[in-house]
Homo-oligomer: A and B are copies of this chain.
Amino acid sequence: MATVFDVAKLAGVSIKTVSRVVNDEPTVKPATRHRVQQAIEKLDYRPHSGARLMRSSKSGIVGMISDAVSSAVEDPLNAGLSGIHIVRGVQEACREAGKILMIADEGAIDDRAGVAKLLRTFESHRVEGVIYAAPLHMQVALPLPKGLPLVLANCFDGLGTPCVLPDDAGGQALAVEHLVATGHRRIAYVGLGDELVAGRLRRDAFRRACREAGLSETATPILIGFDATSETSLDNLRKSLARLFKRTSPPTAVCFGNDLMAMRGIEMFERMGLGVPGDVSVVGYDNDENLLRYLKRPLTTVTLPYHEMGRAAVSTLLQHRAPGGGRASAASQLVRGGLVERSSVQSLAPKRTTTQAT
In the complex the two chains form, is A76's CB within 8 Å of B69's CB? no
Interface string of A205-233 (1 = CB under 8 A from B): 00000000000000000000000000000
In the complex the two chains form, is A289's CB within 8 Å of B76's CB? yes
Closest to A290 in B: B76
In the complex the two chains form, is B88's CB within 8 Å of A126's CB? no
Closest to A51 in B: B54
Taken together as a complex, chains A and B put the C-alpha atoms of A124 and B47 apart, in Å, by 5
Contact of A126 among B44, B49, B87 (CB under 8 A): B49
In the complex the two chains form, is B73's CB within 8 Å of A84's CB? yes
Q: A258 → chain B, closest Cβ, in Å? A: 15
In the complex the two chains form, is B293's CB within 8 Å of A76's CB? yes
| Residues of B close to A100: CB separation below 8 A | 102, 104, 121, 125
The interface residues of chain A, by DSSP majority, are classed as helix
Taken together as a complex, chains A and B put the C-alpha atoms of A99 and B1 apart, in Å, by 22
Contact of A125 among B49, B289, B290, B307 (CB under 8 A): B49
Closest to A52 in B: B50
In the complex the two chains form, is A105's CB within 8 Å of B76's CB? no
Closest to A146 in B: B44
Question: What is the total number of copies of this protein in its complex?
Answer: 2
Q: With an 8 A cutoff between CB atoms, is A20 at the interface?
A: no
Q: With an 8 A cutoff between CB atoms, is A59 at the interface?
A: yes
Interface string of A19-31 (1 = CB under 8 A from B): 0000000000000
Q: With an 8 A cutoff between CB atoms, is A9 at the interface?
A: no
Q: A32 → chain B, closest Cβ, in Å? A: 22
In the complex the two chains form, is B124's CB within 8 Å of A48's CB? yes
Interface string of A105-124 (1 = CB under 8 A from B): 11000000000000011011
Q: A313 → chain B, closest Cβ, in Å? A: 15
Known: A101-B103, A121-B100. A73 touches B88 (CB 8 A): yes
Q: With an 8 A cutoff between CB atoms, is A181 at the interface?
A: no
| Residues of B close to A85: CB separation below 8 A | 73
Q: A61 → chain B, closest Cβ, in Å? A: 9
| Residues of B close to A52: CB separation below 8 A | 50
Taken together as a complex, chains A and B put the C-alpha atoms of A72 and B73 apart, in Å, by 13
Taken together as a complex, chains A and B put the C-alpha atoms of A121 and B49 apart, in Å, by 9
Known: A46-B123, A53-B50. A102 touches B105 (CB 8 A): no
Closest to A118 in B: B100
Closest to A59 in B: B50
Closest to A72 in B: B84
Task: Tell me the chain A residues, 5-24 only, with Cβ under 8 Å from chain B.
Answer: none
Chain A residues engaging chain B, CB cutoff 8 angstroms: 1, 44, 46-54, 59, 69-70, 72-73, 76-77, 81, 84-85, 87-88, 91, 95, 100-106, 120-121, 123-126, 146-147, 289-290, 293-294, 307
Given contacts A47-B124, A49-B125, A100-B104, 6 further A-B contacts (CB under 8 A): A44-B147, A48-B53, A50-B54, A73-B81, A100-B125, A103-B103
